[in-house]
Amino acid sequence: MNRKKYEHHFTEFAEKYWPNETADDPQFYTWFIAQAIAESALKPSAVSLVGACGIMQIMPATWRDIRMYLPHLPKDIFDVRANIEAGIWYDRYCWDRFPQIENPLERLLFALAGYNCGPSRVRKLITASGAKTYAEIEPRLPRETQTYIKRILKFRDSLLT
């Protein structure tokens, strides 16, 4: 796993789609590297058992949807640069689904959970529970999503040390 090989893509697209966050935290892009490690161990040719593809493990139907918003992306879901851009853009899309969460870190965790199990599923859980923190909603999330978030947090910590 060679994070340096792709780091410039993560930096570029974090700055493009998360300009305020990257201005406040120059290491913000490491959230997305940690996510990609959790998703694919940074393997551009990875395909999950359910068919998610590439370094950011994007489902083909989601890829088609993202390409409607980002028509400059190639059709090739395995294009590393495009896959990273689409994944970081989709993280932002998920973030935008949770304006009621005021704390930026909590909102990011909700967005990452939404990336994994679907933003509408997370929104329904927030509405049903009134949760304002990730800890409040975590037990209601699928076990896979709980593990996914724990892995991202662990990988990000290791990237910062």
Q: Which one from 7, 39, 85, 106 is the annotated catalytic residue?
A: 39
Instruction: Take residue 96 and report the two structure tokens written for it.
Output: 């935008």
Instruction: Take residue 120 and report the two structure tokens written for it.
Output: 């509408």
In Å, how far are 11, 23, 94, 157 from 15, measured between CA atoms?
6, 8, 17, 20
- How far is 29 from 84, CA to CA, in rounded Å? 11
Task: Concatenate the DSSP letters of all residues of 39-75 into one string.
Answer: HHTT-TT-B-TT--BTTTTB-HHHHHHHHHH-TTS-S
User: Contact, 13 vs 84, CB < 8 A?
Assistant: yes
Residue 21 designated active-site: no
Q: How many CB atoms lie within 10 A of CB 1?
A: 9
- Active-site residue list: 39
